[in-house]
Chains A and B, each alone.
Chain A
Amino acid sequence: KNEVEQSPQNLTAQEGEFITINCSYSVGISALHWLQQHPGGGIVSLFMLSSGKKKHGRLIATINIQEKHSSLHITASHPRDSAVYICAVRLVEASGSRLTFGEGTQLTVNP
């Protein structure tokens, strides 16, 4: 079982719809990241969370540490939001820290 599970794997929406992507993890973490990757490979960091909720424009990220679960919400989705969204958790180990990634959610927003 992967340490980080994302759902859904693929998501198709119509422009304007409210979108939710979920992330569950099975280990203790120090932080959780939501990343966006467009075709061509570039990755942009959207949020880094260790508790509560963060909002940036139409994007909202929440995390529940006790339930080991995070959600990324996109309000009023737009075709330019089409991308792969990746959840990553920062694990702190005796040897140091590392990011462990979910498999990603491919989002397509149709006009």
Chain B
Amino acid sequence: KAGVTQTPRYLIKTRGQQVTLSCSPISGHRSVSWYQQTPGQGLQFLFEYFSETQRNKGNFPGRFSGRQFSNSRSEMNVSTLELGDSALYLCASSLERGRDFYNEQFFGPGTRLTVL
């Protein structure tokens, strides 16, 4: 079974631009979560999607948004990029059967975003 894939793997943007990152979960997984990892703040939760619905959102500004499609693939978008948005963005999928049943998360390789 193929693992979680993320595209692109590396991205360089300039301040003020916007970016869209993509995540394809493991086949059959309906839950996708997104995380930001920076040297200063470590790993932080961005969003969690289940069956096309955002279940929870972390403490990030409205410039960060996401969505999930009917095939469980997910995208996240960051508008008006700032230097501080430079980070490794990770997505993870899991086979969750409902709100109160949680499974192991399988992480993708991440997208490394550099904002100049």
Interface residues of A: mostly helix, strand, loop or mixed? strand
A43 and B48 in contact (CB under 8 A), knowing A88-B43, A99-B33, A101-B42?
A: no
Q: Is the CB of B90 within 8 A of A43?
A: yes
Smallest Cβ distance from A83 to chain B, in angstroms?
13
Q: Which residues of A contact B109 (CB under 8 A)?
A: 41-42
Instruction: Report if A101-B104 is in contact (Cβ < 8 Å); known contacts: A42-B110, A43-B90.
Output: no
Judge if B70 is at the interface, Cβ distance under 8 Å.
no
Whether B107 lies near A42 (C-beta < 8 A) is yes
Most buried by B among A42, A44, A96, A100: A96
Cα distance, A96 to B45, chains bound together (Å): 12
| Cα-based distance from A35 to B39 in the complex (angstroms) | 17
Chain B interface category by residue count: 20 to 34
Residue in chain B with minimal CB distance to A86:
B43
Residue of B43, B57, B88, B112 touching A95 (CB-CB under 8 A)? B57
Q: Does A45 contact B (CB under 8 A)?
A: yes
B14-38: CB near A (< 8 Å → 1, else 0) gives: 0000000000000000000101010
Contacts of B88 in A (CB 8 A): 41
Closest B residue, CB atoms, query A95 = B56
Cβ proximity bits A90-111 to B, threshold 8 Å, 1 near / 0 not: 1011011111111110000000
Residues of A within 8 A of B (CB-CB), count = 25
Q: Is the CB of A33 within 8 A of B48?
A: no
CB-based contact A31/B102 at 8 Å: yes
Alpha-carbon gap, A104 to B55, bound state (A): 26
Partner among B44, B45, B58, B104 whose Cβ is within 8 Å of the Cβ of A45: B104
Known contacts A88-B43, A96-B48, A98-B45; A41 and B110 CB within 8 A of each other: yes
Residues of A within 8 A of B102 (CB): 30-31, 48, 90, 97
Give chain A's interface residues, CB within 8 Å of chain B.
Answer: 30-31, 33, 35, 41-45, 48, 86, 88, 90, 92-93, 95-104
Give 5 A-B pairs besides A88-B43, A95-B56 with Cβ atoms closer than 8 angstroms. A33-B104, A92-B100, A95-B57, A97-B102, A99-B33
